[in-house]
């Protein structure tokens, strides 16, 4: 990994001031990209000027990340051209994009926890003395100078593992800038930051902007976008919807563009009559976890699907993990069928009839190198065995049932899970959960990264569970899915439940036509933004 700047590597980007006559920092024209016949991007333009904070907006699957990956050289476009600082980019590789001065700050950290801040900044391009030894003191001084320059109060001798998430994010940005990147891409940078850290980050972004750095900013938090961005490009279903200065936009108008008017194949569930629901199955009374959530009170009745909406870091997943016994309960009470239960491990949660479909199917859901059949029966090994002897007959019966019920597309039950597509892997995780015959089913982002057909099927399964008198909690970032799947939706922000939306709140005029579904989506989006802004 040869860096282009051997000499000092630390010259601040501020030396190049923005000149209006300069060519745009990024000019992507007519970008089209398809994956296996599915169009991910169609004729999309993106133009970012130096000294501009450019918000890239869109729902999940709108094509934002594909566009950024093309810019980062990870994918090459099928059609279209990219110019960086007026120079066309002909080779599409990470290396070429880095050399052109593009840096992306990842959500997941790329810093090494066991090294100091200074060591991380100079990682793999350490200045060396005549004997080939690393000039540690020089690194420290340079890092200190950089931190001072950006007004960041971090001790460069501190280990990354001793620093907070926010500080690490700032270090990553400084690291990128010290490599002479003058185009920064930030993908949801604030999801793990505290308010003070967000202020610090925004301060820094403002300063960078003034010094002529071009910034592409991806976020779902509209209040932040309005606060910091100059210009917005909105994508929907792989197409450019709008590219305009942010000056006179409001949360409502942005959300309107993000959601759009196009028809969706999802539709709202039948209005539920209170009387159709069964007894209260799950009850949280003022329950708090170790960090989040805080003081959550929630009841879920038999036959009911409760949706949980909220942005990244709102405490949705922590709540799910707490209910599943992964995270401990610090205070408050969890009751099932009116009886207080102690959930200290997934094992116990499963015994209490709770199943969780976790958010990260590869890390938490599957043993990918094992077969589909092995994965499906992992939680119910005792049920498919006689005296601990696993009965292949019982396994085959259970697995065939689940594969048929969920339409898992696999060559055979013996196929390894890693060979399935994302949607089918998700169905295997779902099958594993359903095999435990749960009374309470919790799904955390069950449709993340899966194709639209599988999505609809997953929603169908959720409704079916409700029809079988189970209690379901559905956590999702997708408003369409929440509305289609849930009977009512609670909104979380900052680890707390902030508001609740009933079916009537979303569909006030009692008509279930497609346009009102879009309207409901818009309402939900706006509500999510509101509770987030009022933290």
Partner 1 sequence: MSNVTLSKSQNSVSPLAFVRESWRQAVIYLGFAVLFIIFSITLRDQGFLDINNLLNIVRQTAIIAIMAVAMTFVLAAGEIDLSVGSLAGLSSVVTAMVLHDYGLVAGIFAGLCIGSLAGVVNGFLTTKIGIPSFLVTLAAMGICTGTSMWISHTAAIPILNQTYAFLFGGGDIGPFPILLFWMAIIGVAGHVALKHNTFGRRVLATGGNETAAQYSGINTKVIKARVMLMSSMAAGLAGMLYAGRLQSGRFQFGEGDEMSVIAAAVLGGTGLAGGHGTVVGSIIGAIMIGMINNGLTLHGLEYSQQLVARGAIIVLAVALSKKD
Write down the least CB distance from residue 237 to partner 1, Å: 22
The closest alpha carbon to 123, from 59, 172, 76, belongs to 172
Distances (CA, A) of 409 to 47, 198, 403, 429: 41, 44, 8, 13
Cis preceding-peptide flag for 293 (omega within 30 of 0): yes
Q: Which of 15, 20, 275, 369 binds partner 1 (CB under 8 A)?
A: 369
Element (H, E) at 520: helix 514-533
**Smallest separation (angstroms) from partner 1 to the CB of 218:** 28
How long a stretch of residues is the chain? Answer: 535
- Contact present, 292 and 507 (Cβ < 8 Å): no
Q: How far is CA 506 from CA 207, 271, 523, 527, in A?
A: 41, 11, 7, 10
CA quadruple 112, 117, 123, 125: dihedral, nearest 10? 180
* Between 326 and 334, CB nearer to partner 1: 326
Residue 131 found at the interface with partner 1 (CB under 8 A): no
Q: Any contact of residue 450 with partner 1 (CB under 8 A)?
A: no
Shortest Cβ distance from residue 527 to partner 1 (Å)?
31
Q: For residues 109 and 193, is the Cβ–Cβ distance under 8 A? A: no
Residue 363 contacts partner 1 per CB under 8 A? yes
Residue (364 or 456) nearer to partner 1, CB: 364
Both tokens of 99, joined, read 């050399």
Distance CA 112, CA 97 (A): 23
Q: Between 70 and 408, whose beta carbon lies closer to partner 1?
A: 408
Query: Which stretch, 18-26, 127-135, 212-220, 370-378, contacts partner 1 (CB under 8 A)?
Result: 370-378
* Residue 366 touches partner 1, criterion: CB under 8 A: yes
Per CB under 8 A, the list member of 18, 117, 152, 356 interacting with partner 1 is 356
Residue 223 CB, shortest distance to partner 1, in Å, is 34
CA dist 31 → 59, 83, 517 (Å): 19, 12, 30
Distance (Å, whole) CA 381 – CA 367: 15
Question: Given the complex with partner 1, which of 154 and 350 has the nearer CB atom?
Answer: 350
Q: Whose Cβ is closer to partner 1: residue 114's or residue 412's?
A: 412
For partner 1, give the closer residue by CB, 108 or 382: 382
Residues 6+ apart with CB under 8 A from 282: 298, 299, 300, 323, 334, 335, 336, 354, 440, 471, 473
171, 160 Cβ separation under 8 angstroms: yes
By beta-carbon proximity to partner 1, the closer residue of 304 and 444 is 444
**Total residues in contact with partner 1, by rule CB under 8 A:** 46
Residue nearer to partner 1 on the CB measure, 185 or 431: 431
Q: At what angle are helices 452-467 and 422-435 packed, to 10 degrees?
A: 10
Question: Residue 24: what are its φ and ψ, rounded to 5°?
Answer: -60, 150
Cβ distance to partner 1 smaller for residue 255 or 350: 350
The reply on whether position 345 binds partner 1 by CB under 8 A is yes
- Enumerate residues 382-441 that contact partner 1 by CB under 8 A: 382, 385, 388-390, 396, 400-401, 403-404, 407-413, 415, 419-421, 424, 432, 436
Residues 303-332 that bind partner 1 (CB under 8 A): 324, 326
Minimum CB–partner distance for residue 294 and partner 1 (Å): 24
Interface residues toward partner 1, by CB under 8 A: 324, 326, 345-347, 349-350, 356, 358, 363-370, 374, 377-379, 381-382, 385, 388-390, 396, 400-401, 403-404, 407-413, 415, 419-421, 424, 432, 436
């Amino acid at each position: 990994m040869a860096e282009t700047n051997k000499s000092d590597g630390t010259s601040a980007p501020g030396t190049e001031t923005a000149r209006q006559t300069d060519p745009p920092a990024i000019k992507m024209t007519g970008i089209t990209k398809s994956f296996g016949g599915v169009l991910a991007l169609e004729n999309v333009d993106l133009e970012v000027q130096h000294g501009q904070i450019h918000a890239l907006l869109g729902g999940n699957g709108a094509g934002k990340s594909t566009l950024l990956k093309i810019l980062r050289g990870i994918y090459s476009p099928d059609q279209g051209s990219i110019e960086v600082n007026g120079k066309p980019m002909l080779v599409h590789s990470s290396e070429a994009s880095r050399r052109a001065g593009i840096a992306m700050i990842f959500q997941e950290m790329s810093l090494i926890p066991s090294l100091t801040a200074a060591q991380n900044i100079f990682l793999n391009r350490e200045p060396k003395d005549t004997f080939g030894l690393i000039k540690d003191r020089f690194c420290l001084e340079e890092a200190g100078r950089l931190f001072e320059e950006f007004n960041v109060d971090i001790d460069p001798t501190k280990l990354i593992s001793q620093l907070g998430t926010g500080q690490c994010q700032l270090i990553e940005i400084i690291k990128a800038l010290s490599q002479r990147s003058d185009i920064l891409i930030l993908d949801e940078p604030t999801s793990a930051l505290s308010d003070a850290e967000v202020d610090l980050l925004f301060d820094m972004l403002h300063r960078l902007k003034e010094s002529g750095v071009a910034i592409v900013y991806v976020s779902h938090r509209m209040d932040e976008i309005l606060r910091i961005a100059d210009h917005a490009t909105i994508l929907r279903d792989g197409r450019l919807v709008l590219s305009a200065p942010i000056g006179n936009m409001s949360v409502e108008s942005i959300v309107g563009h993000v959601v759009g008017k196009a028809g969706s194949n999802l539709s709202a569930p039948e209005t539920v009559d209170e009387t159709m629901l069964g007894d209260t199955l799950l009850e949280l009374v003022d329950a708090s976890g170790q960090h989040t959530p805080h003081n959550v009170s929630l009841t879920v009745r038999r036959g009911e699907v409760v949706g949980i909406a909220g942005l990244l870091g709102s405490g949705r997943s922590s709540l799910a993990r707490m209910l599943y016994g992964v995270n401990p309960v610090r205070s408050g009470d969890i009751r099932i069928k009116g009886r207080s239960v102690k959930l200290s491990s997934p094992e116990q949660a499963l015994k209490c009839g709770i199943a969780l479909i976790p958010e990260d199917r590869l890390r938490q859901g599957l043993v990918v190198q094992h077969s589909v059949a092995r994965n499906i029966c992992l939680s119910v090994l005792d049920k498919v065995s006689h005296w601990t002897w696993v009965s292949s007959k019982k396994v085959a019966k259970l697995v065939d049932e689940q594969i048929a019920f969920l339409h898992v597309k696999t060559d055979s039950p013996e196929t390894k899970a890693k060979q399935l597509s994302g949607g089918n892997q998700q169905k295997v995780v779902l099958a594993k959960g359903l095999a435990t015959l749960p009374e309470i089913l919790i799904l955390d982002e069950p449709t993340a990264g899966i194709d639209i057909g599988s999505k609809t099927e997953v929603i169908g399964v959720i409704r079916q569970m409700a029809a079988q008198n189970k209690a379901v909690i559905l956590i999702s970032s997708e408003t369409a899915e929440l509305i289609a799947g849930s009977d009512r939706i609670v909104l979380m922000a900052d680890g707390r439940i902030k508001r609740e939306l009933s079916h009537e709140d979303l569909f006030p005029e009692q008509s279930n036509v497609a346009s009102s579904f879009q309207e409901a989506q818009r309402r939900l989006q706006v509500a999510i933004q509101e509770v987030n802004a009022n933290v």
